[in-house]
Amino acid sequence: MEIVKYPREILREKAKPIEKISDSIFELADSMISIMLENKGIGLAANQVGKLYRLFVINLNPFEDKPELLAVINPKIIDREGMDVDEEGCLSFPGLYLNIPRAKKIRLHMQNLYNEKMVLDTEGIVARAIQHEIDHLDGVLFIDYVSEEEKPKLKRYLDDLKTMNNSNLKANNL
Ligand code: CO
């Protein structure tokens, strides 16, 4: 399994709710956790591995040696508090970092892999990551929130991507 990079269309699609947590969902969550850890990510959404399920994985303990890993199914933010701007990256946009506004604290309703309903209160970087991952499930990307100041930086990044894609195309056409 590989991480889907921008501008692949699936990153703009809306993921579907999971009705039954089958073995294949279990295995998918497992692979996503491995890929996230390998790539030193804090979170990874199913769209980013080519699957349109409302599922993401997250490390709730990103600054400690021992990760605290959770697979989050059918998440819904039911409360938000405060606002904070901080630097954010995305495994589907290697090398791009933008300052993005997000709620400081959130309350999440979700299911875990054992079909248990959970309420999760988080803040700071973990709350930020959860908001970023839920956006992925709705086909929303962090570049959608780019500030006026960082628009030129984003444009350069996207222009470079186009050049790379075009040269790949030419190579393939030979
Ligand atoms: Co992302």
| Digit-coded pLDDT (tens) for 60-94 | 999 888 999 999 999 999 999 999 999 999 999 99
Q: Does 13 participate in catalysis according to the annotation?
A: no
What distance in Å separates the CA atoms of residue 24 and residue 87, rounded to the nearest whole number?
Answer: 34
How confident is the model over 133-171, as pLDDT tens digits?
999 999 999 999 999 999 999 999 999 998 887 776 655
Q: What is the pTM of this model?
A: 0.94
Find the catalytic residue in 116, 133, 148, 149. 133
C-beta of residue 3 within 8 angstroms of C-beta of residue 49: yes
pLDDT at 1: 86
Q: What distance in angstroms lies between residue 133's CA and the mean position of ligand 1's atoms?
A: 6
Q: What distance in angstroms lies between residue 143's CA and the mean position of ligand 1's atoms?
A: 10
Conformation bin of residue 78: beta by default, left when phi > 0, alpha when psi is -120 to 50? alpha
